[in-house]
Amino acid sequence: MESTLYLHVGHGKTGSSFIQSTLALNKDFLSENNINYPIDKEERLRHSKGNTSSGNWDLLTRNNYIEELEKLGVTENESLLFSGEALIRYIASNKNNINSVIFNIKNHFKIQQINILLLIRDPGDHLVSKYHQRIKGAGFFIEFDEYSELYAKTKTPYTVVLQLLKTIKTWENANITILNYSRIKYTLINEVSAWLNISSNMAPFKDFLVNRSLGESELELQKTINKSLNELKFDDINYQPANKLIHNAPGIKKCIPFLSTKNQESFEKKMDPILTELNYIIPKEHRYKKKISLQTKDSNDELSFTKKQIEVIGKSFAEIVYNLNHTNKECAHLKHKIHEHDMLIKNDPMYTLHKLKNAYHFVKNIPKLFIKNILRKLIYK
């Protein structure tokens, strides 16, 4: 049986975390089918629990990648599997010379062929899911209609998909499978198993909604927090209840934001050229659906939370209050020590900061913003 280098390349918001949790859970089963999914024990355990992950593709970015793979038990003439939604961008642009890395691995381990899995998603579905991701993970707070204009302007990930397909076309002994997540969402693992050409389907991770989207109330809450923190010029986005809700309050219905008919038509018009170009390449049954069908007006002014959501939010805010109080005490102690030991050198604040870091190891646990503010007040008061 020919050995194969399998590359699951994304793109984003097409079930990657669910796939990677399933791959980690089925590592031994894959090995029985002569497919090595290289991943260290700690990462495997974390992924197996359904935590949001980036897969194992980062092994391809390490300086000593061959040695790292051999440490993880990779040997010649066996199939290798890498998964990571960032791979699409790296391969399309050959970032960090990753394409040479891929072929070096193929040659070093005497692998005969390369099989690539590209998962795409209909623009309407992807637009909504990406908006959720930006709100819950990137501090976004703009309204959905504004985001839809930004999305249609950048046309990401569609330009990257096009570049990937052009790049793969130049590779020898490489095949690509393109599947539309919007069509196969509920049979995703069966499709991945078929792509891997294994004897039977992998056992899927128990919770289908790994890294789920937000409910309507959750979305509005996180958006309001993001906006308020931005107005306060607070640059740390780690204080977010959304991530707690995702992992601790499952089963919440996904919010589909509304978009006016005019904006939907404008979105479709802007997206049409690149979708038309891609649909000529993509297999008919998995082509992009050009028309989007979203709500055209907001039908609900009243929002509510379940008891479980309130419990998670309450605990999240309690942790924030505790951490802030603890940090304030550390900062007050630090200020006292500065004056006590006369360490403040007004003409050389960088040297002062260096001395503080060496003298007080706990400083590293204080958010950078607090340190900046304290030094600014002490030095320039």
Q: What is the pLDDT of residue 349?
A: 60
Q: What is the pLDDT of residues 254-303, one digit of tens each?
A: 888 889 889 999 999 999 999 999 999 999 999 999 998 887 666 566 78
Q: What is the pLDDT of residue 363?
A: 46
- Measured distance CA(148)–CA(163) in Å, rounded: 23
User: Which residues on neighbouring strands pair with residue 119, listed in sequence order?
Assistant: 179
Q: What is the pLDDT of residue 83?
A: 97
DSSP code string of 243-290: HHHHHHS--PPPP-----HHHHHHHHHHHHHHHHHHHTTS-GGGPPP-
Regions of the chain with pLDDT less than 70: 1, 50, 52, 205-211, 235-239, 296-301, 327-328, 330-331, 333-381
The answer to whether 25 and 192 are in contact (CB under 8 A) is no
Backbone angles phi and psi of 214, in degrees to 5: -90, 150
- On whether the pTM is more than 0.95, the answer is no
Could you tell me the two tokens for 254? 């996904």
Write the CB contacts of 73 (distance below 8 Å, at least 6 apart in sequence): 36, 38
Could you tell me the two tokens for 93? 């642009």
For 320, other C-beta atoms within 10 Å of its C-beta total 14
- Measured distance CA(282)–CA(177) in Å, rounded: 9
Going along the chain, which residue ranges are E strands? Answer: 4-8, 35-36, 79-83, 113-120, 174-180
Compute CA distances 210 → 85, 248, 257, 290, whole Å.
15, 11, 21, 27
Q: What is the pLDDT of residue 249?
A: 78
Q: What is the pLDDT of residue 371?
A: 53
Q: What is the pLDDT of residue 351?
A: 61
For the stretch 377-380, contacts whose Cβ atoms lie closer than 8 Å and that sit 24 or more positions apart, written own/partner, are 378/335, 378/338, 378/344, 379/344, 379/346, 379/349, 379/352
Ordered structural domains, the chain, with CATH: 4-121+155-196 (3.40.50), 309-380 (no CATH)
Q: What is the pLDDT of residue 336?
A: 65
Most distant CA pair in the chain, distance: 74
Helices (H) and strands (E) in the chain, counts: 17, 5
Could you tell me the two tokens for 369? 């913003």
For 80, other C-beta atoms within 10 Å of its C-beta total 22
The answer to whether 215 and 254 are in contact (CB under 8 A) is yes
Going along 167-217, which residue ranges are E strands? Answer: 174-180
